[in-house]
Every structure is written in C-alpha cells, then in structure tokens.
C-alpha cells in the first residue's frame, strides 16, 4: 500500500516540478543578472511577502475553526434538548421521525 502511495506521490511531484521548472529557471536567470544587493533585497521582499501570507492564512483558519466549533456546540445542545428531534417530527410526520430516531439508536423496526 505504501509503495502505491509513494508512486502516486512521486508522479504528482514530477508533474508539479515539470510545470514549475521553466518558471524557476527564468526567475533564477533574472536574479543571477542582478547585483548582490538587489538579489538580497528581492529575497527579503519574498520572505516578508511569504510570512505575511502565512499569518493571514493562519488567522483565517483559526476564525473558521472557531466558527465551526461554535456551530458544533450549538448543534450539540439543540440535539441534547430534543429541539432537532421535534423539528424532524414536525416537518416529516411522527412515523418518519420515529424511524429516524430508532435507526440512530441502532434499533431498526424491521
């Protein structure tokens, strides 16, 4: 199983490398023609740009995680109080609600 995963992973990596290699060569050729101080400034700018992007990504991911956690807690309390079960019973009728509740508990009536 691991061999298949490694082959697929290597194939994906080779595809990405083949796609990006001309752009990397072009960027290195451009940077190679610049003076050393300009190369350093370009690298510093790229590093700052990367760090800012990383912090923005982490910030958005944390916000998404907190929103999902709050929604999960609300859903849990609504389920524990029986409000969701009452809504299912009102929307679909008591027969379907009873079947859903029994199937969730693992007791199927047939």
- Decide if pLDDT at 109 tops 60: no
Q: What is the mean pLDDT of residues 13-41?
A: 86
Question: What Å distances lie between residue 32 and 18, 25, 36, 105, CA to CA?
Answer: 21, 10, 9, 67
- Decide if pLDDT at 76 tops 80: yes
Contacts of 84 (CB under 8 A, 6+ apart): 75, 78
Q: Please state the pTM of the whole predicted model.
A: 0.44
- Supply the pLDDT for residue 96: 58
Average pLDDT of every residue of the chain:
80
Q: pLDDT, tens digit, for every residue of 42-72?
A: 889 999 999 999 999 999 899 989 999 999 9
pLDDT band at 32 (very low <50, low <70, confident <90, very high): confident
Q: What is the mean pLDDT of residues 22-32?
A: 85
Instruction: Tell me the helices (H) and strands (E) count for the chain, helix number first.
Output: 4, 0
- Supply the pLDDT for residue 94: 55
């Amino acid at each position: 199983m691991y061999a298949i995963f490694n082959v697929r992973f290597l194939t994906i990596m080779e595809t990405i490398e083949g796609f990006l290699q001309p752009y990397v060569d072009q960027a290195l050729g451009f940077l190679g023609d610049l003076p050393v101080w300009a190369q350093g400034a370009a690298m510093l700018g790229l590093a700052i740009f990367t760090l800012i992007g990383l912090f923005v990504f982490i910030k958005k991911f944390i916000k998404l995680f907190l929103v999902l956690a709050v929604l999960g807690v609300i859903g849990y309390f609504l389920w524990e109080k029986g409000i969701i079960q009452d809504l299912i019973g009102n929307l679909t009728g008591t027969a379907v609600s009873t079947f859903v509740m029994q199937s969730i508990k693992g007791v199927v009536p047939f």
